[in-house]
Chain A
Amino acid sequence: MEGLLTAPYTGYVYPNEMVIPWTLMIAIYPYLTGLVAGAFTVSSMHHAFGMERFKPVARFALLTSLSCMLFVPLPLILHLGHPERAFNAMITPHLSSAFAMFGFFAAFYVVLLALECWFAFRADNVARARSSTGLLRTFYRAITLWSDDVSTNALAYDRKWLLALAIIGIPGAHGLHGYVGFVYGSLKSREWWGSDMMPVVFIFSAIISGMALCIVLYVIAANVRRIKIDFACLKGMAYTLWGFMMFTLLLEALEFANLVYKGKEGIEIIMEYVRGPLFVRLFVVQFGFGALLPIAIIGGMIARGTRGKAFIVGLTISSLLVLMSVFMMRWNVVIGGQEISKTMKGLLTYIPPLYGRQGIIAGCAVMVAPFLMLWLLTRLFPPWGDMSQEEPQ
């Protein structure tokens, strides 16, 4: 039994509330699903909407989405009191629960992503199977399911599937993430969560976090590989990020305004929370440094026509700020909701522990794991040169 961590409080809170139920892992979970949905959006810009300028990152974004998705269940499993019973939710799903379908949605989405990757990388894998020897050859042969057909017809067939999967994947990815928003938004026990706008806010913040992640990873990858960054591609991502950020900020502001303007019972304690412990986390970190500043930086660069290294540096910094801001948003939603007591007469303070399976170290490990997976996948399936889109030899 891990040591009992009780949250300090002010005012009056129910005695059972002093042990905060959902902690760091439950903040990481929606962050990861958001990255999945956002990275998928980047890849779909090319695969579904045919936007050529996104081609250099399309398959890389797809692998990023898959890498994050593979680890989405991990924080949940680490949180469970009985992780060995996790599959009970799939064996006997209790259909009235907003969470009952998670396992099915997640499994569906992993399959969809894996299938899309399979079609996106098939031609490359056939070529790699031909050019490699030994175990590696067997591996690539197995990955291609022992099919080496890269005829015009076969590639056209691949593209058709890619398009279909990308089209299904867009509502799939955003549905999965909007669903996470619904898990919180549908709870009537917490005023901070019980918002109809929560799923929409989650979807928009997902898009910007995934877009920002792809920008950062693309810049890092280009530097590691010592290749020239495709400026048109980067600028396309910058425009998209900028636009969606303004939508996201507007939605979040509207959601907050709604809560304050309605001024329902307990608004006093919410305002005490917002003005007090949440002020820095919400207004300074999430909205100020994480939203307004990057909007201003990217907007300024677009207006001034900034190019070259300055643009890359400015955009990367802005993207990192966005990634931080979206994590802060997840934290402020998940932890924030629980720091306002159900009594509406008191506030709690959650201090995350360093150790333990829900501690900061474990959380960092969960956040690093998808990127190790991405590194491995990009080694096995380099996403940079796209053979599936080229004419056959």
Chain B
Amino acid sequence: MTQDASKDKPGRRDFLRTAGKALVAGAMGGGALLAESAAQSEKSAADKAGASFPTDDYDWTEHRWAYGIDATRCIGCLRCVEACKSENGVQPDAHHFRTWVERYVYLEGEEKARVDSHNDPQNIAASGSESEYRFDNRYKDAEVTKAFFVPKMCNQCQHPSCVQVCPVGATFRTEDGVVLIDQTYCIGCEYCVQACPYGARYFNEETRTSDKCTWCYHRITKGLLPACVEVCPVEARIFGDLNDPSSTINEFIHENRVHVLKPETGNAPTCFYVGLDKEVS
């Protein structure tokens, strides 16, 4: 399990971990790897048990999470980006994002949109720091024919290419539809980073493993909303359970003509968009 879930399971796994460390000292890496493998087997057993996993009061077979983004509502305030960075301890720079917002601007006489985001040097200059996020006002004197913001994040695909390519099975799709990374097992090969068509994954230099958005799995399994959804002032971000007929996400999907990003990849995202444009990829 990722981060928090593993903390709730002391006992035998801790023992195995300690035993693993002792074996490293005694018999080099091989023993430790076997111990780690045993811990993995224990996790698989818990997976099969299904109910009350990953926490005692949460059953992941009862939920089917999905995410909606109404790009027509987004105002590019970037509170979501800041909340995500803070909630998940994402590196405070302009090259590591679990969620980011893209700005698309069509100028008069131009067929293609101009696109920028938080990695743009002009935006970094405008905010004064790589750890603060702001869109600069570069188009104030231009003739803008169309402009909009598109929030981006992991699409928690039903057929995730990142999960497909992981050589050790450290990244997996949960029963409730979220793609997670077991950072205690990831080898840091970055094959998943390559395979993600959306650029949603990055290498975390602190853990030396891959990292990505988890829809704040530690929050949603406790009945809370993802941090980005919680702080969005215009309800451009919607989150909910597809198994609940009255959920806001069901309402969002039923009342709108929704799209997904890069449908041609066959990844089948569970992040649904309203208000996309031909230029958005």
Contact = CB atoms under 8 A, between A and B. Distances in A.
Interface in B190-207: 190-191, 193-203, 205-207
B36 A88 contact: yes
Nearest to B117: A15
A88 B189 contact: no
Interface in B157-180: 161, 163-170
B271 interface: no
Contacts of A83: 187
Given A1-B206, A13-B119, A91 B33 contact: yes
Report which residue of A9, A85, A338 has the largest number of chain B beta carbons within 10 angstroms of its beta carbon.
A85
A80 interface: yes
A331 B280 CA distance: 30
A93 B168 contact: yes
A344 interface: yes
Contacts of B167: 89, 93-94, 97, 99-100, 102
A87 interface: yes
Which secondary structure dominates chain B's binding surface? loop
A342 B166 CA distance: 19
Contacts of A79: 189-190
Given A16-B97, A89-B167, A81 B208 contact: yes
B118 to A, nearest CB: 6
A5 B11 CA distance: 41
Given A82-B208, A188-B197, A87 B33 contact: yes
A19 interface: yes
Contact of A88 (B116, B117, B168): B168
Contacts of A22: 190, 194
Interface stretch (B51-59, B88-96, B221-229, B239-247): B88-96
Interface in B113-153: 115-119, 152
Interface string A264-276: 0000000000000
Given A12-B115, A189-B196, A342-B197, A98 B168 contact: no
B186 interface: yes
Nearest to B98: A16
Contacts of A308: none
Contacts of B93: 4
Contacts of A6: 95
Contact of B209 (A81, A93, A190): A81
A21 B115 contact: no
B29 interface: yes
B106 interface: no
B21 to A, nearest CB: 12
A189 B206 contact: no
B272 interface: no
Contacts of A332: none
B205 A1 contact: yes
B195 A21 contact: no
A270 to B, nearest CB: 14
A89 B198 CA distance: 25
A390 interface: no
Interface string A1-31: 1101010010011111111011000000000
A189 B195 contact: yes
Given A92-B168, A94-B167, A187 B194 contact: yes
Given A12-B117, A16-B201, A82 B194 contact: no
Contacts of A127: none
A96 interface: yes
A230 to B, nearest CB: 44
Interface residues of B, number: 56
A107 interface: no
Interface in B95-119: 95-97, 100, 102, 115-119
A-side interface size class: 35 or more
Nearest to A23: B190
A351 interface: no
Contacts of B72: none
A173 B203 CA distance: 32
A252 to B, nearest CB: 22
Contacts of B281: 343-345
Report which residue of A2, A21, A91 has the largest number of chain B beta carbons within 10 angstroms of its beta carbon.
A21
Contacts of B96: 15-16, 19
B94 A21 contact: no
Contact of A91 (B34, B115, B116): B34
B186 A81 contact: yes
B168 A16 contact: no
Contacts of A81: 186-190, 203, 207-209
B165 A99 contact: yes
A73 to B, nearest CB: 12
Interface of B: 29-30, 32-34, 36-37, 40, 93-97, 100, 102, 115-119, 152, 161, 163-170, 185-191, 193-203, 205-209, 265-266, 281
23 contacts: A1-B206, A12-B115, A12-B116, A13-B119, A13-B199, A14-B199, A15-B97, A15-B118, A15-B199, A16-B202, A79-B189, A81-B189, A81-B209, A84-B29, A87-B33, A92-B40, A92-B169, A93-B167, A96-B165, A99-B167, A188-B195, A189-B161, A189-B194
Given A16-B96, A89-B168, 6 more contacts: A4-B205, A15-B95, A21-B190, A21-B193, A188-B266, A343-B281
